[in-house]
Amino acid sequence: MSILSPLSMLSAVVSLGSLLDGWTLLDGSGTRTFRHAVMFEHAFSAPPLVHVGVAGLDASKDDNLRLRVRAEDITRTGFSVVVETWLNTQLWAVDVSWLAIGH
């Protein structure tokens, strides 16, 4: 018989936008990426599974909407939210919800 330890879950919504230093998703063309560090309220015993999703979006209507959101560099203590767009898409803000599940 194996002993299972209970799962721990943390979640939040991160609001990212053009007022943040390094925001490159409003102007320009080509591929543009913005990274934001998220620190967990408490550390997991090992890197958790992190699921991200778009909870809000402020984008220009003048071009097609192109958006990728992902979690990278996941550790016991946090991860990076990566928001990416390309071509002429202009993004003023993206709200990213996240859920971390681990031990």
According to the model, what pLDDT value does residue 80 have? 98
Domain range list for the chain? 8-102
> Is there a contact between 99 and 9 (Cβ–Cβ < 8 Å)?
yes
pLDDT along the chain (103 residues), means of 10: 77 97 90 98 97 97 95 98 96 98 95
Full-prediction pTM beyond 0.85?
yes
According to the model, what pLDDT value does residue 6 have? 85
CATH of 8-102, one of 3.40.50.300, 1.10.10.10, 2.60.40.2080, 2.160.10.10: 2.60.40.2080
> Is there a contact between 78 and 37 (Cβ–Cβ < 8 Å)?
yes
Residue 87 Cα distances to 27, 41, 47, 76, angstroms: 10, 36, 34, 35
Write out the DSSP string of 32-51. Answer: EEEEEEEE-SS--SSPPEEE
> Is there a contact between 90 and 58 (Cβ–Cβ < 8 Å)?
no
